[in-house]
Each structure stands twice: as C-alpha cells, then as structure tokens.
Amino acid sequence: MTGEWYPGHMAKTKRLLAERIKEIDVVLVLLDARAPKSSLNSFLLEVFESKPKIYLLNKNDLADSAITQKWLDYFRKKDDTALLINAQKGKGLRNLIKTSQTLVYTKKKRYVNLGIKNIPIRAGIIGIPNVGKSTLLNHLVQKNVAQVQNKPGLTRKLLWYKINDQFKILDTPGMLWPKFDSETTGFKIALLNSIANYIYDPEKVVDFLLNLLSTDYPHVSQTYFEGINSWKILVENKHYSNPEKKAEEIISKFRKNKYGRITLEQPN
C-alpha cells in the first residue's frame, strides 16, 4: 500500500493545478477532522506555497470534538487559518467566505486602497478523495451542481463555479500522493474511505483500528471487541469463518460512526 498505486489522473491534476495557479487567490484545504494530518496532502500543497490558505476541518460531526479542538489550537498556534465545517449540513460556510475575503483583501490591499472594491475572490478547493469537496461546493452554490457520492475519485475535472459576483470556486479531483510516509497513514486514509478498496488489506486496517481503540478509546474497545487489540486474536476467539468479509464489515461500521465519534490521530 506504499507505492505503485498512484493513479495517472492524480499526477495530471497536479500538473493542471500548477498551470492554473495564477487563477487562484486563496486555497481551501479540505481535511477530514478525524485525521487532519494524514489527510493533508503536502505533496499537492507544494504547488500553492505562495498562496493564502484556509485549513477546513470537515466531517467534524464524525470526529471526537475534544480532539478536534486540540487540532484547531494546533493550527492556530502555527499561525495558520483553520476553521471547523460540516459540508453536508452547510455549517461554518458563512464564516468561510468572510475569512477568505479577509485573507485575500489583506493581500490585495493595493487594489482596495485604490478604491477598487468587491474584487471577486477565486478560491480553489483541494483535498484527498472523498473528503467532501463537491459537497462543500454544492452547499456554497446552493444547487447540486457537482456530483457527490461516498466513493473516492468521483470528480475528474477542474471546474469553476460561480457562488455570486464576489466569489468563485474551483472544484478539483481528489488527490493523494505517490507514497505514504508510513503504513499507518495508509490505514487511516483507508478508514476514511479515501482510497479504492482493492488497494488495502482490510484485515490489516482493522488490526490497526483495534490497536488504536484499545489505547485511545478503551470503553469502545471493551464494548465491541472485548478489549482485544489484535485482529488475529479476535478472529481466533470469535471463530470468524470469513475474516476478510468480517473486517470489511467493521470498516464499514467505523465509517458510519457505529462505534461512536472516533478521531484517528492527535496533534503532537
């Protein structure tokens, strides 16, 4: 799971974005609140080094709110702009537009000083597959213009959408990077449903999850998995006849928050 799977369309997206960088005033970096660090595509961010950025912690309805607060503090301590949103319910979006305007107008002070007001803002959304880019866009446009599904790799084109006279948004295909820095990053991305399911081994992903639950969420581990932190032992104890299928079921339940609001990583 650490290489050889980086699809061609992702490399192409990076190239296209680099070509269109001049069209973008502010970058909305969409992150999954359950794993803000692992869902941050530093490989793609290289393209936007010089641009103002807003880190958006999305799907916060699924994450552990106490840890989400720690993540917000983490970004703000680094002087990064970070906001909490729920793209599905459209929460936090007014603040997002206001913050984008403030960031861009600060940069375009020259124009503002010249009396040129209402400079339209062009925001580009980036994020890993399935993180909620198109959902966010649909909410902002207030129409279902972009296709949404709980499946990675749905959007394939870079398209501009007009929110109003002051705000335009570029939807982009979800992107991952050529090589995960560690196996655990891959497991987290798999749990977030941001990678096609033929790429990962569900049993290894669940083994990772059991281990995490037993240390970070012992009550959940106890309630659902008898406090067992290893997939191999759980399979032996429970005599699962089809462990692979069972592992897929557990992953699917995790994604539906059947084990409660669980965050996969904390800031260090």
Ligand X SMILES: Nc1nc2c(ncn2[C@@H]2O[C@H](COP(=O)(O)OP(=O)(O)OP(=O)(O)O)[C@@H](O)[C@H]2O)c(=O)[nH]1
**Interface positions with ligand X (CB under 6 A):** 58-59, 61-62, 86-88, 127, 129-135, 148-150, 152-155, 173-174
CA triple 170-175-176, angle to 5 deg: 160
* Shortest distance in whole angstroms from residue 151 CB to ligand X: 7
* Shortest distance in whole angstroms from residue 205 CB to Mg ion: 23
- 3 state SS of 242: coil
Q: What is the DSSP letter of 139?
A: H
Residue of minimal Cβ distance to Mg ion: 155
Cβ atoms of 67 and 263 closer than 8 Å:
yes
Distance in angstroms (rounded) separating the CA atoms of residues 175 and 178: 10
For Mg ion, give the closer residue by CB, 98 or 156. 156
For ligand X, give the closer residue by CB, 70 or 91. 91
* Shortest distance in whole angstroms from residue 108 CB to ligand X: 28
Handedness of CA 234, 240, 244, 245 (dihedral sign): negative
* Shortest distance in whole angstroms from residue 52 CB to ligand X: 21
Q: Considering CB distances under 5 to 8 angstroms, the limit depending on partner class, which of Mg ion, ligand X, none binds residue 62? A: ligand X
For Mg ion, give the closer residue by CB, 14 or 70. 14
Task: Indicate whether 194 belongs to the interface with Mg ion (CB under 5 A).
Answer: no
For 120, residues 6+ apart whose C-beta sits below 8 A from its C-beta are: 165, 166, 167, 168
* Shortest distance in whole angstroms from residue 57 CB to ligand X: 10
Distance in angstroms (rounded) separating the CA atoms of residues 186 and 199: 10
Task: Indicate whether 134 belongs to the interface with Mg ion (CB under 5 A).
Answer: yes
Cβ atoms of 15 and 245 closer than 8 Å:
no
Q: Considering CB distances under 5 to 8 angstroms, the limit depending on partner class, which of ligand X, Mg ion, none binds residue 124? A: none
**Chain residues that interact with Mg ion, rule: CB under 5 A:** 133-134, 154-155
